[in-house]
Amino acid sequence: MSEERTQVGIVGAGPAGLVLAHLLRSRGIDCVVLERQSRSYVEARIRAGVLEHGTVDLLTSLGLADRLHRERMVHHGIELLFERSAHRIPLTELAGREITIYGQHEVVKDLIAAWDGPLEFSVSSVSLSGLSSSAPIVSYVDAAGTARSLRCDVIAGCDGFHGVSRASVPDGVLTVHQRDYPHAWLGILAEAPPSSEELIYAHSARGFALHSMRSPTVTRMYLQVRPDEDLASWPDERIWSELRARLDRADPSWKLADGPILERSVAAMRSFVVSPMQYGQLFLAGDAAHIVPPTGAKGLNLAVADVKVLADALTSWYATGDRAGLDAYSETCLRRVWRVQHFSWWMTSMLHPTGDDPFDLALQLSQLRYVTSSRAAATSLAENYVGFPFP
């Protein structure tokens, strides 16, 4: 087995792993990124698309956002639609910041294109050892089938919810906080121009729907469905007719544009946090440590916020030997994680009918009327939605 050495071993080339790699590189810290999937798979994976101001600023400061600035859509508000009536939340007016629409896979493509350091795709049999020592090791088999090991000072577990990093921590160390929801999102990507300039979050007795977009010609839309929903029972026409019904409004001039569906999937909804987000020299970041329901559009942004904290702590440790930032990593990240968890749970609870219970429905409508009629309540939604400044 060949052994190599680096300062930081990064497991996973999603947004967390790739942004961390660029941050470390910009500060003169060596790292190696290992990714289980192929480059083409990672670059085509359709996921999030709403970037907070802080995420855009960070990518811009690293010189990674030229295409993003050329191609992004800047939004200054979102619409809440309920009782067939649309209400705009003017995000920028209320919270002073805008949001950016730019697909997560486009971010990933930009980060990979700009990376000239070590990054191995299609690795397998990844395992972590010596996590409580000062020289932990990542063992893996590379794309050519050669068994290799990487001796590190620190391992960053950026390998998502189903990765190996969190599972490598001994039993009993991490406390898991979890909430499952009785619904999931059926998401589609369609070749159709957006029917609205801004995102529409629609509450209807039939269920929640979200009208979103990825470009002037591509729409991204979601329907609330059951967690065990069978995609096969959703032919194109059923999807479009359900979207039309849930996005219906009193204004007869509004029409939903449709077109060929390019991609469809069902994603379960979950709130999940592990605490602490570190063990010995292993630091978990992004979905490896927490999952938020997508209603608040936060998963990617939270992953980026984590690795900013980790990069700052590592920079200080390498420069001065002071471990204070590393020791406080989990505590620092979890403050933001729980704020985002609460906001994502709150948006989810307000917008997803859970059945025929008239009490729940009345509470949701009351809350929707409140956030769309009180400037104070709308401001609270807006400042959470655009995101708080990075630590």
Ligand X SMILES: Cc1cc2nc3c(=O)[nH]c(=O)nc-3n(C[C@H](O)[C@H](O)[C@H](O)COP(=O)(O)OP(=O)(O)OC[C@H]3O[C@@H](n4cnc5c(N)ncnc54)[C@H](O)[C@@H]3O)c2cc1C
Residue 12 contacts ligand X per CB under 6 A:
yes
Helix axes 358-371, 329-351, angle to 10 degrees: 110
> What is the C-alpha to C-alpha distance for residues 148 and 124, in angstroms, rounded to an integer?
10
Other CB atoms within 10 A of residue 69 CB: 13
DSSP-derived secondary structure for 224-247: EE-TT--GGG--HHHHHHHHHHHT
210, containing H or E segment: strand 209-215
11 binds ligand X (CB under 6 A): yes
Which CB sits closer to ligand X, 45 or 67?
Answer: 45
Nearer to ligand X, 231 or 362 (CB): 231
Residue that the structure tokens 């001796």 belong to:
151
Q: Does 297 contact ligand X by CB under 6 A?
A: yes
Q: How many residues bind ligand X (CB under 6 A)?
A: 32
Spatial neighbors of 267 by CB under 8 A, at least 6 apart, are 184, 185, 187, 294
List the one residue from 294, 325, 353, 387 that touches ligand X (CB under 6 A).
294
Site for ligand X in 241-270 (CB under 6 A): 267
CB of 35 to ligand X, least distance (A): 5
Q: Does 163 bind ligand X (CB under 6 A)?
A: yes
Determine, following the binding rule CB under 6 A, whether residue 103 of this chain makes contact with ligand X. no
126 binds ligand X (CB under 6 A): yes
Q: Is 299 in the site for ligand X (CB under 6 A)?
A: yes
Nearest partner of 315 among 304, 305, 326, judged by Cα: 326
CB of 306 to ligand X, least distance (A): 8
Residue 31 in contact with ligand X, rule: CB under 6 A: no
From residue 323 to residue 362, the character string flagging contacts with ligand X as x (rule: CB under 6 A) and all else as - is ----------------------------------------
Give the torsion through C-alpha atoms of 194, 195, 197, 198, to 10 deg: -90
Cα distance between residue 257 and residue 247, in whole Å: 12
Residue 86 CB, shortest distance to ligand X, in Å, is: 22
Q: Is 34 an interacting residue with respect to ligand X (CB under 6 A)?
A: yes
Least spacing, CB of residue 299 vs ligand X, in Å = 2
Cα 124 to Cα 206: distance, rounded to the nearest angstrom: 44
Q: Which stretch binds ligand X (CB under 6 A): 13-21, 63-71, 93-101, 376-384?
A: 13-21
Contact between 108 and 15 under an 8 Å Cβ cutoff? The reply is yes
Contacts with ligand X by CB under 6 A lie at: 11-17, 34-37, 42, 47-48, 50, 104, 123, 126, 158-160, 163-164, 187, 267, 286-287, 294, 297, 299-300, 303
